[in-house]
Amino acid sequence: VIDNIVELLEPILIATELLSSSSYSTISDICLTFLGLYHHLSKFIDNKSQITEQYIMADSIRFKLNKYWFILEESTIITILDPSSKLLTFPTNNEKDTALTSLKNTITQYNIPATTTTTTMPKLMPKNKRKFFKLLLIQQQTIKQLLMEEL
């Protein structure tokens, strides 16, 4: 019985150590950890052949994680943009498609069409500071368009 409880709780210890030791845990780290814990707990819950202490503990822990997971699901775009995880925390194709659609819609909302086609950055500071910043904005729009095409 003790060995089964240790098996149940060991990943939670690892998650606690991981997220507590990092000064800069990203939302992707948290999502990946929660998703891993969720799947680990499911192993104890899905086997309903007998209600055991491990089942009750796993079900209680997963219930609490569900409260936090709901909050984390609102951070879809942040997770996608993290190069260390990208789409890893979206296990099904449907979830990946939904996340990518959400990202594309957000990018589209902030996409302001460029008024000119000039996209080169000046090598030296121009005398006209206003023009310099206008060119920065145009360059940024070009980058956004390339990102949209990549998605």
Q: Provide mean pLDDT across the span 117-128.
A: 56
pTM (two decimals): 0.57
- Whether 88 is covered by a domain: the verdict is yes
Assess if residue 35 is contained within a domain: yes
Same domain, 137 and 75: no
Across 25-29, 75-79, 98-102, the highest mean pLDDT is recorded for 98-102
Q: Assess whether 91 and 120 both reside in one domain.
A: no
Q: Which residue has the higher pLDDT, 65 or 128?
A: 65
Tally the domains of the chain.
2
Q: How far apart are CA 86 and CA 90, in angstroms?
A: 9
Instruction: Give the contacts of 51 (CB within 8 A, at least 6 positions apart).
Output: none
For residues 91 and 115, state if they share a domain: no
Question: For residues 106 and 99, what is the distance between their CA atoms, to the nearest angstrom?
Answer: 11
Give the CA distances from residue 74 to residues 19, 28, 44, 70, in Å, rounded to whole numbers and listed in that order: 20, 12, 27, 7
Please check the confidence at residue 96 and state whether its pLDDT lies above 80. yes
DSSP-assigned letter for residue 24: T
Whether residue 63 sits in one domain with residue 9: yes
81 and 131 fall within a common domain: no
Domain that holds residue 68: 2-95
Q: Are residues 9 and 64 in the same domain?
A: yes
Residue 82 lies in a domain: yes
